Amino acid sequence: MRVRVDRENCVGHGRCYSLAPDVYSDDERGHCVVGPEPLPRNLEAQARLGADNCPESAISLDDTRPPPPGADGPRG
């Protein structure tokens, strides 16, 4: 899985690094910085949690495999 953050859209809500601190961190302004690359498999769920909770939809996941069974749908 690859994680990308659109720095244009990130406004520093900080949900990603609060909920998934092993994948996301914050720069000086509190905007999102994506962590380890390549992303270890065991952090994929965290990556998804952070992306799902970005109010600006600034995080995109490039995942060639289907989401695990029981994963949450598009609604909150």
Partner 1 sequence: MQDERRDPKTARVNLFDPKIASDPQPFYADLRARCPVARSAYKDSPVVSRYEDVAWGLRQPEIFSSAMEKEMALGTERPMIPQQIDPPAQTRYRRLLDPHFSRRKMEALAPAIRRQANALIDRFEARGECEFDSEFAVPLPCGAFLSLLGLPLADLPAFLEIKDDIIRPQKRKGVPMLPIPEAAAIRAEGGRRIYAYFERLIDERSAQPRDDLTSSLVHAEIDGEKLERSEILDICFLLLIAGLDTVTATLGCSVAWLARHPEERHRLVDDPRQIPAAVEELLRWETPVTMVPRIAKQDVTLHGCEIKQGEMVTFLLGAANTDGEHFRDPDRVDFARERNLHLAFGAGPHRCLGSHLARMELRVALEEWHRRIPSYEIRAGETPVYSLAIREVMYLPLVWSPHR
- H helix intervals, the chain: 15-19, 44-52
CA distance from start to end of the chain: 22
Nearer to partner 1, 41 or 75 (CB): 75
**Taking the complex as a whole, how short is the minimal distance between the CB of residue 4 and partner 1, in angstroms?**
19
**Taking the complex as a whole, how short is the minimal distance between the CB of residue 6 and partner 1, in angstroms?**
13
Nearer to partner 1, 8 or 37 (CB): 8
Please state, in angstroms and as integers, the Cα–Cα distance from residue 17 to each residue in 33, 46, 68, following that order: 8, 10, 22
Nearer to partner 1, 2 or 18 (CB): 18
